[in-house]
Structures are given as structure tokens and as C-alpha cells.
Amino acid sequence: MHTNSAWVSAAVLVLVTGCASVTSPSASRVADAEDVVYRAYDAAYGSLEQRQAFARGLWDRSQDAAQACMARKGFEYLRPPDPDPGLRPTRLTGGTGSNEVHPVSAAGWRLAEEWVAMHPPEEPAPSAAAGDDYTDALSVCSSGPDFSPPWDVPASEPLQVAISDAVAEVVALPAVRDAWSRYPACMSDHGYPTITTSKELYLAIQKEFSRLMPLGGSSPSPELDQARKYELAAAQADADCRTTTYELAIVALAARLGPWLEEHPDLVAQSIAGWDCAGDCPAVGTTGRHQRRRR
């Protein structure tokens, strides 16, 4: 939920960017709406704890499958370090990716600190003495459905579709579009004149990481600290410039999702139960409509 300082920033933003014609909902309405929308998203996409457990379950299954496959071929599998448990889908995306142009996706739904990208550890390179046979075996054993089980809970599909449809309606509302149209000017005032869309923000952050760390990597270094400071500052500016859009959109979303949750308690319960399986349910699999919407 927004702090008092965030509301002060929103008021300043109205004055600076000429948003006087856009009226934000009251703090209490936004808070109530957040409770509804976050409840819907946690049920559809799993809570933070559920997603972490789900990711861990999928990771263990994939690595166990690769290890068994390599053993059958007579090789010892060089299992990479476990990924950071924080790696997970963006909390509230509304069916869009973080690099898409969308007024209420990615950082707009989250605190800037939560949006700082997580970097998976580098995988150890196989010994040069392993030869082509090892490389060929690894290529076979590190692909396919066993190694890459789908990140999916079919029971969640109805709620995910309802959320996606609701977001599509909300972003088309005139008030939301009007508030979002002020984003480029606001980002310019924050010192980012070339960032006018979500996609440009994403690309600018990636470019800064590439400039400071041309060889990649995730080991602690001054360059990595500098890149993450840039990312955090850019994400904070982005969050500030989405404030009015966010408040209008989340209230409108709650008005659509609240009744859906009340009308479909069984579907909500099934979705939550699916995430509780931590990626190891017999029913875990891919469903066509869901996958098309999430691309």
C-alpha cells in the first residue's frame, strides 16, 4: 500500500506534469482496491511464498531429471548452483511481460525495491576433457519436458483469464489512458527524457547493465552495484510517474475482480490449492489458451 510520502509525490506530480484534470481516488479507496486485486493475483499466480516453493519444486525436478539422464549415458552431471529463490514471475503483470508497452504492467504494480532484477548464478563450464560425447549428452539431457517442466497451474486458468480480460478493459478507460499519456513528460522531469514507454525503460536498464558489465556475470562488484543503483533509480522514477495511473486502474480493477471472486469461490480455492502443490501436482501441465495469453 502507498505511504504518505507516495501521496505527497503524487500531489507534486500533478502540479509538475499538468495532471490537474485527472482526479485520483481517495487513499482509503485505493487501499481497499489493493486488498481485492492482490487477493485475486495471489490466488491466480500464487503468493510470494507459493511461487518460491513452486520454483524450487520445478528446479529440483528438472535437475534430478538431468542428473538421471546423464548417469544413464555414463556421465556425472555438473549440477549448477541453485538459483536465487527470489526468481519468480512479476507479481502483477495482468498477462503482459515486463518489456511490453503497457500502462499498468511490471514496475507500476510494485515498489521499486521489489522490482530490482534478480540475476541467476552462472553455470559451471564442463571440463575440457569431457569432450564432444559429454557435450552431446548434456544437450539431450538438458532439454525436453522433463528438464523444463511448465510453470503452470491449470486450475488457475479461469482466474488468470478473468484478470487478463479485466486489465484489458481497464487500460482502455479514458481516465486511465489520459493519466498514462503524461508518463513521458514525468519521466523527463525525473531525468529520463528518452524513456517514454515501459519497453524503453526495460531496454535502458538492460543497456546500462551491458555498458557497465560487458562480459555479464552476477558476482559482487562495483560495476554491478552501479548498474543496480541505476536500475533502482529508474524503477523508482517509473513508479512515481505511474502513481495516478496506478490508483485509477487498481480501483477499476477491483470493481471488476471483486464480484468475480465472490461468484466463483470454488475456482479460487482450486487455484490456491494448485499453487500449494509446489510444482509437483499430477495436474500441473500446459493449457493452450492460458499459454497464448501469457506470451
The number of distinct structural domains making up the chain is 1
CA torsion 59-62-68-70 (nearest 10°) is -110
Residue 43: what are its φ and ψ, rounded to 5°?
Answer: -70, -40
Distances (CA, A) of 41 to 2, 128, 275, 281, 291: 18, 46, 12, 20, 17
Residue 273 to residue 22: CA distance in whole angstroms: 40
**Does any domain span residue 148?**
no
> What does the DSSP 8-state code read for residue 148?
S
Along the 295 residues of the chain, how does pLDDT read in single tens digits?
Answer: 333 333 233 333 333 333 434 677 888 998 899 889 888 988 888 877 777 777 777 778 888 888 888 888 888 887 776 655 443 333 333 333 333 333 343 333 333 333 333 333 344 455 544 567 888 888 888 776 667 666 677 888 999 899 989 988 998 899 988 988 998 999 999 999 988 887 788 888 888 888 888 777 667 788 888 888 888 888 888 888 888 888 898 899 999 999 999 999 999 999 988 888 755 555 433 333 333 223 2
Residue 84 has, within 13 A of its CA and on its CB side, a CA count of 11
**What is the SS3 string spanning 93-125?**
CCCCCCCCCCCCCHHHHCCHHHHCCCCCCCCCC
245 within a domain of the structure (yes/no) = yes
Residue 84 inside a domain? The answer is: no
- The phi, psi pair for 286, rounded to 5°, reads -100, 145
Q: Alpha-carbon distance 223 to 39, whole Å?
A: 38
Give one DSSP letter per residue of 12-73, joined into a string. HHHHHHT-TTSPPPPHHHHHHHHHHHHHHHHHHH--HHHHHHHHHHHHHHHHHHHHHHHHHT
The kind and range of the H/E element at 8 are helix 4-17
In a domain, 117, yes or no: yes
CA distance 180 to 245: 6
Q: What are phi and psi of 191, to 5 degrees?
A: 100, 15
CA angle 63, 220, 49 (to 5 degrees): 50
Q: Say if 113 falls within a structural domain.
A: yes
- Say how far apart CA 73 and CA 45 lie, in whole Å: 37
Domain assignment present for 128: no
In the Cβ-directed half-sphere of 17, how many Cα atoms lie within 13 Å?
A: 26
Tell me whether residue 127 is in a domain. Answer: no
Predicted local confidence at residue 265, as pLDDT: 95
The C-alpha cell that represents 99 in the structure block? 518489456
Cα four-point dihedral sign 58, 64, 68, 73: positive
**SS3 assignment, position 199:** helix
Which residues span the domain enclosing 159? Answer: 4-64+90-121+153-294
H or E element in which residue 170 lies: helix 157-171
The span from the CA of 267 to the CA of 113, in Å, is: 32
User: Is residue 79 included in any domain, yes or no?
Assistant: no
